[in-house]
Structure 1
Amino acid sequence: MSTPVALVGIGKIAEDQHLPAIASSDDWHLAATVSRSGSVPDVEGFTGIEEMLATRPDIPVISLCLPPAPRFAYAQAALEAGRHVMLEKPPGATLAEVHTLAAMARERGLTLFASWHSRAACGVAPAREWLADKRITRVHIDWQEDVREWHPGQDWVFEPGGMGVFDPGINALSILTEILPHPVHLTAATLDFPANRATPIAANLRFTGNTTAHFNWLQEGPPTWDIDVETSEGTLHLGKGGSTLSIGGADHPLPRNTEYAGLYARMAECIALGISDVDLAPMVHVADAFTLGQRVEAAEFSF
Structure 2
Amino acid sequence: MSTEQYAFDMEDVEYVQHPTGPLLARLYRPKVSKPTAAVIELHGGGWSIFDRTRGVTVHEALARRGVFVMSLDFRQGAEGAYPLMLQDINYAVRWLKANAARYGIDPNRVALSGNSTGGHTAMLAAMRPDDQRYGMLKLPAEMEEFDATVRCVVMLWPVINPIGRYLRAKALVGTEGAPEWAEPTVACHDNFWVSEANMTEASPTQMLGRGEEVTLPPALWIRATGDDVHDYANRETGRPESEEFVARYRAAGGEIELITFEAPMMFTTAYPTMPESIAALDQIVDFVERWTR
TM-score, normalised by the number of residues in structure 2: 0.34
TM-score, normalised by the number of residues in structure 1: 0.33
Bigger RCO of structures 1 and 2 (CA < 8 A, at least 6 apart): 1
* More strand, by proportion: 1
